[in-house]
Chains A and B, each alone.
Chain A
Amino acid sequence: MIKKLIVKQNSVLWIIAVGIIIVPFILPNRYFQDIAVMTFLWAGLATSWNLYSGYCNRLSIGHAAFMGIGAYTSTLLYLNFGISPWIGMLAGGALSALTALLIGGITLRLKGTFFVLSTIAFGEILKVMTITSTEVTSGALGLMIPFQPGFANMIWTGKIPYAILAWIYMLVALFISVKLEKSKLGYSLIALGENQEAAENLGVNSTKTMMTAFILSAVLTSFGGTIFSQYIMFIEPTSVMGLSTSINFILLAIAGGLGTAFGPMVGSFILTPVSNLLRGYLAGISGLHGFILGMILIIILLYRPDGILPQLKLLSKRILQKLDKPKKGE
């Protein structure tokens, strides 16, 4: 039994991922429920980011651009044409896929450092374009979504429906990650991340592999953007496309474990509540919250660059083995 548990650590993580939905129902008030929504949403976003950047170890630091595309597409369609955000979400996903195809065609073949820099440039160009097209996007002022509750509008009065939506989003991203890990695409991607030349020599089609993962990651990130905009009901370029948003994806993923299916989720489960509570309690001193998050990231990178999840797995393995031993003696 216990030996099976060691092998099937993923099923434990699945149980946690599915069971966590109880939490927002028990939480006492809207403040804590809001933290739960954000935790699930960021877990989904970080998992989506990880799909490309984590597995093949190529950091896309402009990835929030796809979140922005999702948020702006659904919001603009809803505000101007009354199109339901559910359809807007799909439209945003399609647009993100197209953008990823175009941008990826240019940047994916670039070597490590150049690729990272090109993603920043791409993110910044999109942000500048959004800020300057004031007639459409109202620029840096941002867009407000009027409060008209209803399932078709993806707007609800309480926090619970949002929590369920964000949770489903997270589970979808997780499911795709786990599937990817066991697919040929996933193996190729990880091989490319470890040694591109060697992988190519063994017959991995690097362009196709990276492109597929990049598009998948972009579309999922874009879905998260739509959910984010419908939840916050206000979007502006820096909050949905800014560098700090991209850094947050990375922070959560690396804290949990880069290139593991459940790592970003674990990272978000720990860091998003901490971050939100800090922001709440330390609101008096602006900057302290960001300072602490930055320090956490530095400490993780210096001492545990593998992230928390591998550590937890190791720890649980040891505990389980210790529990196992006395039985053998009997």
Chain B
Amino acid sequence: MEQILQVFISGILSGGIYALASVGLALIFGVVGLVNFAHGEYLMLAMYIAYWIFNIVGLDPYQSLLINLVVMAAIGYITFKVIMERVLDSDHSIQMLLTLALSMVLQNLALMFFKADYRNIRIDMTNDIMNIGFITLNTPRVLAFIIAIGASVLLYLFLQKTFTGAAMRAISQNGKAAQLMGINIKSIYCLAFVIGTTLVGLAGLLISPIYPAFPTVGASFSTLAFIVVVLGGLSSVPGAIIGGLFIGVIESFAGYFAGPAYQQAAYFLLFILVLIFKPNGLFGRS
């Protein structure tokens, strides 16, 4: 029983990160209508930024948080202006292929400049442990979870409470009507894209003390984020948060009962099942 609870909590902690990595994807899909296969690559970039700042300047990922987020926002902005803006009206296949190509370019750029080595950030806190009752928790993971859920909830509140957030929701419901109401649709698209890449960057930064950076680290997070987003109903931010936690728990239990090799297979299987029986997502409205 104790072990089951431990596995469950561990899953929830990973799930928080998955949620944060996925809310941005859901936002970009919902508002801009882009299926961004390069989403995970921004997580990879943020991990490398955290790594290099740590190695060259000596600031740990938490201290470099602000710089990292600003750089990620800038990278997101440049991507949107240089590439994405040109294909907003294109066919969906073209958009998807373009983001696939972008992910290929970014992965190979990382391979060129940083080699295929695994790069770890070892800070004092990396191996710290917290004991709550009989449950043992790794401090960076707890911290990552709290910040991740905090940021996801902030995004949700931003969408619900601010004017810009309301504009985003309006666009995601009906872009044409929103435009007729005088919303500057392009700048909202750009903002949504930048928020999305910055949030997945934050997820990358948060896992950097416990997870190594390597050129293809983003790819697994990309597929994972897609599964989470589909579970959550594709364009729903709260759906993505719940979906992330759900996938974290599933993955954790699959690893515990069937072995680590089956973790991925478990959530892919769940994904296919959802597509068959509830294509609008587990938590989506039909």
Task: Report which A residues bind B (CB closer than 8 A).
Answer: 57-59, 61, 106-107, 110-114, 116-118, 120-122, 124-125, 128-129, 131-132, 243-244, 247, 250-251, 254, 258, 285-291, 293-295, 297-298, 301-302, 305
Contact = CB atoms under 8 A, between A and B. Distances in A.
Given A110-B275, A247-B100, A57 B91 contact: yes
Interface in B222-251: 223, 226-227, 230, 234
From B90, B108, B110, B215, residue with most partner A Cβ within 10 Å: B108
Contact of A288 (B101, B108, B262, B275): B108
Contact of B101 (A113, A129, A132, A294): A294
Nearest to B272: A121
Interface string B64-85: 0000000000000000000100
Given A286-B115, A289-B108, 8 more contacts: A59-B97, A114-B230, A117-B230, A121-B268, A124-B223, A125-B268, A287-B110, A287-B112
Interface string B264-275: 110011011001
B177 interface: no
The 8 closest A-B pairs by CB, nearest first: A287-B111, A290-B108, A294-B105, A294-B104, A287-B112, A297-B101, A291-B108, A287-B108
A189 to B, nearest CB: 15
B279 A114 contact: yes
B4 interface: no
B181 interface: no
B87 A291 contact: no
B96 interface: yes
Contact of A287 (B87, B93, B109, B269): B109
Contacts of B94: 301, 305
Contacts of A244: 104
B276 interface: yes
B71 to A, nearest CB: 21
Contacts of A57: 91, 93
Contact of B272 (A61, A116, A122, A285): A122
B105 A295 contact: yes
Nearest to A295: B105
Contact of A59 (B96, B111, B227, B261): B96
Contacts of B92: 112-113
Interface in B119-148: none
B35 interface: yes
B183 interface: no
B87 A301 contact: yes
Given A122-B272, A125-B272, A117 B112 contact: no
Contacts, number: 119
Given A106-B272, A121-B268, A286 B112 contact: yes
Size category of the B interface is: 35 or more
10 contacts: A114-B275, A117-B275, A118-B275, A120-B226, A121-B223, A124-B268, A287-B215, A291-B112, A298-B102, A302-B83
Mostly helix, strand, loop or mixed at chain A's interface?
Answer: helix
Given A110-B275, A287-B112, A302 B86 contact: yes
Contacts of A124: 223, 264, 268
Contact of B116 (A58, A110, A120, A286): A286
B98 interface: yes
Residue among B97, B230, B261, B264 with the most chain A CB within 10 A? B97
Nearest to A118: B275
Contacts of B272: 106, 118, 121-122, 125
B107 interface: yes
B101 A301 contact: yes
B219 interface: yes
A70 B115 CA distance: 33
Contact of B268 (A128, A289, A290): A128
Nearest to A290: B108
Contacts of A290: 104, 107-108, 111
Contacts of A288: 108, 112
A292 to B, nearest CB: 8
Contacts of A61: 100
Contacts of B105: 291, 294-295, 298
A118 B262 CA distance: 18
Contacts of B116: 286
Given A294-B104, A305-B90, A129 B265 contact: yes
A122 B101 CA distance: 21
